[in-house]
Every structure is written in structure tokens, then in C-alpha cells.
Structure 1
Amino acid sequence: MSTESARVRSTIETRNRILDVALDVLGENADAGMGDIASAAGVVRRTVYDHFPSRLDLVSTLTERAVTEMTAVLTEVNASGAEADATWAEFIARLWPVTHRYRVLLALRRGEYGEAIHGLLGPVDELLADLVKRGQDGDVFAQHLPADMLSQVAYGVVFAVADSDQSNGTVGARAATITSLLMLGVPETRAIALVGDRP
């Protein structure tokens, strides 16, 4: 392998390590600075700034990574042709493993980077609103709120459960999925049946 390709690979690995560590550090403290992230990643601040010229650049890159993962999952489950409530349940079940990683974006969305994060999360918000609208049109989901608002309420519940589960580890994906379905107006018996024996 050439020196150049080894250097490129090392640069990519360092960048990805910084991103992974940043999610953990910001997950613990949404106000953590670039120095905190550098220390946790085992690099100097200059290295972090070489990859991400500002904290906003870092947060934006984390958000873009989350959007890529979430839209891929949601697009795939949407393509199944299942009822909207079954599609939602599958989406949450598939998303759950990364929910803990990306929950910090919701906290950051309410802060100084709110506008930037909101803009980047647009594709996910639109896909969720479309799914909820499909459920409303099929009388599967409640209609007391517009689809875009109802989808955010139900989706927010998933992250709220993830936050609670993070502290004691006793709730999990099953509770998050059932609760979000209830928020969407799905009867409890149907929500429980959709989740089945998932943990």
C-alpha cells in the first residue's frame, strides 16, 4: 500500500473516531467543547479543528450522518407496502440501536444550532410526516393534529424513552414503539400486537 493511501486511510479513521467520540461526549454533555472532544478522542484540539473548523461543522456532520442512516431505514421500511402503523413499528425497531447515539441532536436542536440542525433533519421530518399522513388517510392514525406535527410528537416520545432508558436500562425498544404508536392514535391492543415479542 502506498504512503499516500495509508495517510488517507489514517485521516479518514481519525475523522470517524472524532465523530464517534463526539456523539458520546455530547450525549453526556450537550455543551461540551471541542477540547473535551479532542481529549476523549485522544487527539489534540488542532486535529479536531483540522477536520471540523468549528463546533457547528462538527454538529452538522453528525446530523448529516444521522439523516443518512435514518432516511435509509425509513425508505426501506416504507417500500414494504405494509400498513402505516406496521411500517412505523418496524422503523422504530430498526432505529432503536442508533437512537441513543443521536438523541443529543434533539437537545442541540433546541439550542444555538437549532436552525442548522432543523434544516438538515428536513428529509427525515418529511418522510415521517408522509408516513403519518398515509396513516391518517387510511384511518390508521389519529387526525387531531396535522401529520407533520403528530409525527414529531410520536417521534419525540421515542427519544424521551431512550433518555429514560439510558439512565436505568429497563425500558427499551418495545416500550418506545408501543408508546409512539399510542401517540399516533393506534389502539393499545393493536400497538402491542404490532410489536409482538420484540424486547
Structure 2
Amino acid sequence: MAGSTARPRRRADAERNIARIVSAARAQLRSNPNATTDDIAQAAGVGRMTLYGHFRTRADLVEAALMDALRAGEETLASVDLAGDAREALTRLLESSWELVAESAALLTAAEGVLPAGRVRELHGEPDRRMAELIRRGREQGAFRLDLPPAWLVGVVHYILHGAAGEVREGRLAAHDAADVVIKSIQSVLSDR
């Protein structure tokens, strides 16, 4: 028998509603970072009361959508081969990272608009740790610069990825050129040569 302090499990229909709402939020916010909770509820096929029963505020819903996107992205990034030469591993990681950032650029915009300062970056903890480890290894191999702090270099990578997504969104960078621009920019920042 479970202890009296155990949290009751949600009903299966509540779990399905949450999954539909989060999925609809990801889709709606990807196409329009200003999508309303009404837009999302309608896309999920639920009423506003159901949506607000699970997510008290739009910010809570946006954070749940971003966390869901990051979990899915983590599955992709965790499968990237980072062995061998750090520069080559960086290219592989950036190719996968760029695809994820480009796919979720509007979702990131929505999150940055409603979440507290630093929360978006905080939610990127695992991708940041992966990049920090790759930079550390690249520095040991003599491939990446030693004159700047590793945390700064991870931040620069983060800003270049998200900045490029903004440039594509604003039409100042062609989507088909973005991956190459991102990879070359980050490699030039990290390079010791």
C-alpha cells in the first residue's frame, strides 16, 4: 500500500489533455510567438477552463512547451557522436543544434517574452554542459582558444545560435545559409588558429 504522502496519479484523460495542450502550444508558438491561450486551447481541442486547469498562466504553458521541445531536442543531441577531433565533433553538434534552434526559434521568442530573465538559459543546462565539455576537450587538444573563459565561450555559442535564428526570422539571413554561417562563426570564435 502506498504511503499517505504519495501524490495521486492524474487521470489518464488529464494526462492526454496535458499532452495535447503542450503539443498544440509548441505548434502554435512555433508559427506565432504571440499565439494566445485561446488559440492554443482551440488547437488542442480543449476549452479554456481545461487549459487553465493545468496551466495557471500563459507563462506556465510557454515554459511547458519549451521544456517539451528541449526534452525532444536532448534526445537528438545526446545521439551526436562527439568522439575524435574536437573541431569535427563541434561541426556535428552545431549541425544538429542549429536544426533544433531553427525549428523552435519562434517558441524561444515566446519564452523570452514571458519567462523571467535567465530562465530560458537555465532550461538549456544540458546542451550548455555538453558544449562546455566539448570546449574543454578542444582546449586540451590545442584546437580551441585558451585566452577566454570557457563559460564565456559557451555563452557566445548560445548567443550566436539564437541570434542567427532571430536573423532568419527577421529575413536578414537566408534560412538555407544559416547553418553554414552559424558553424563558421562559432568555429572562428573558438579557434586557436
- What's the TM-score, normalizing by structure 1? 0.70
Partner of residue 88, structure 2: 86
**Aligned match for 2:131, one of 128, 133, 151:** 128
Contact 2:160–2:186 (Cα < 8 Å) also in 1: yes
Partner of residue 164, structure 1: 167
Deviations 1:133-169 (A, max 9, x none): 2212222112232112111212321222233334353
Q: Superposed, which structure 2 residues align to 1:1-199 within 5 Å?
A: 8=12, 14-27=17-30, 30=33, 32-77=35-80, 80-103=82-105, 104-105=107-108, 108-109=111-112, 112-166=115-169, 167=171, 168-185=174-191
Contact 1:96–1:173 (Cα < 8 Å) also in 2: yes
Residues 171 and 58 (structure 1), Cα distance of their counterparts in 2 relative to 1, 3 Å cut:
same
Letter in 2 for 1:169: A
Following the alignment from structure 2 to structure 1, what is the Cα–Cα distance between the partners of residues 88 and 30?
Answer: 30
Contact 2:146–2:192 (Cα < 8 Å) also in 1: no
- What's the TM-score, normalizing by structure 2? 0.71
Contact 2:132–2:154 (Cα < 8 Å) also in 1: yes
Q: Secondary structure at the match of 2:80?
A: helix
Higher helix share: 1
Deviations 1:24-76 (A, max 9, x none): 44345545542343345454322322332333332332232233234333433
Count of residues in Structure 1 that have an aligned counterpart in Structure 2: 179
Deviation at 1:177, TM superposition (A): 1.9
Following the alignment from structure 2 to structure 1, what is the Cα–Cα distance between the partners of residues 149 and 189?
Answer: 13
What RMSD over aligned residues (CA atoms) do the two structures have, in Å? 3.1
Deviation at 1:84, TM superposition (A): 1.7
Letter in 2 for 1:136: R
* Paired-residue identity, %: 25
Letter in 1 for 2:80: V
